[in-house]
């Protein structure tokens, strides 16, 4: 039997990488897609996206997802583009993985956006449209939703840890 995994999904800036680090501090095996892709391909993802090569990044992301599903990571922080419409979403079929959507309002995320490559590329209005397009796709993909507004990393991790305890036993 394959080991259960929790996949963190959500829009850029929702806290996926931060929560993954919190999980790691608490003894879980963690994989962060953006971090691993950056190291594996020796690239800066921000530069790749800003240079108009988002499709190249999505292909790398697809390869990453295929490679880690059968691995020993317990928590996987997917990139902000991973949702129900992502080409790799169907790769999850047959794997013991539950997706947790870290949900935040666009307004709360704006405070964290200044260094996001797609924001620089698209501008605020188009970025909002992207957020509005993706949010229902995250909701459709997720098994659980956690609203992150007004919560600390520790509080969010505790909620996810509760989910882990529920699904892994």
Mean of the pLDDT values across residues 26-41? 92
Q: What are the strands, taking DSSP E only, across 47-159?
A: 75-77, 97-103, 144-147
Residue 14 has pLDDT above 80, yes or no: yes
CA distance 17 to 147: 16
Over the stretch 49-95, which tens digit does the pLDDT of each residue have? 778 787 888 888 888 888 888 788 889 999 888 888 888 888 887 78
Average pLDDT over residues 42-48: 85
Residues comprising the chain, all counted = 169
Q: What is the pLDDT of residue 56?
A: 87
Cα-atom radius of gyration of the chain, to the nearest Å?
A: 15
Supply the DSSP symbol for 103: E
**Strand, coil or helix: what is 76?**
strand
- CATH no., domain 5-167: 3.40.50.300
pLDDT tops 60 at residue 1: no
């Amino acid at each position: 039997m394959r080991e259960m995994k929790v996949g963190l999904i959500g829009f850029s800036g929702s806290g996926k990488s931060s929560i993954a680090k919190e999980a790691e501090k608490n003894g879980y095996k963690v994989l962060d897609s953006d971090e691993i892709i950056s190291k594996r391909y020796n690239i800066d993802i921000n530069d790749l996206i800003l240079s108009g090569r988002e499709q190249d990044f999505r292909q790398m992301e697809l390869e990453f997802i295929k490679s880690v599903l059968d691995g020993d990571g317990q928590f996987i922080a997917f990139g902000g583009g991973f949702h129900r419409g992502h080409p790799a979403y169907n790769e999850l079929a047959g794997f013991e993985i539950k997706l947790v959507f870290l949900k935040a309002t666009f307004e709360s995320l704006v405070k964290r956006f200044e260094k996001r490559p797609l924001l620089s590329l698209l501008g605020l209005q188009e970025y909002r449209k992207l957020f509005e397009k993706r949010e229902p796709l995250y909701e459709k993909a997720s098994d659980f939703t956690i609203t992150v507004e007004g919560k600390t990393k520790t509080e969010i991790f505790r909620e996810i840890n509760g989910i882990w305890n529920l699904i892994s036993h």
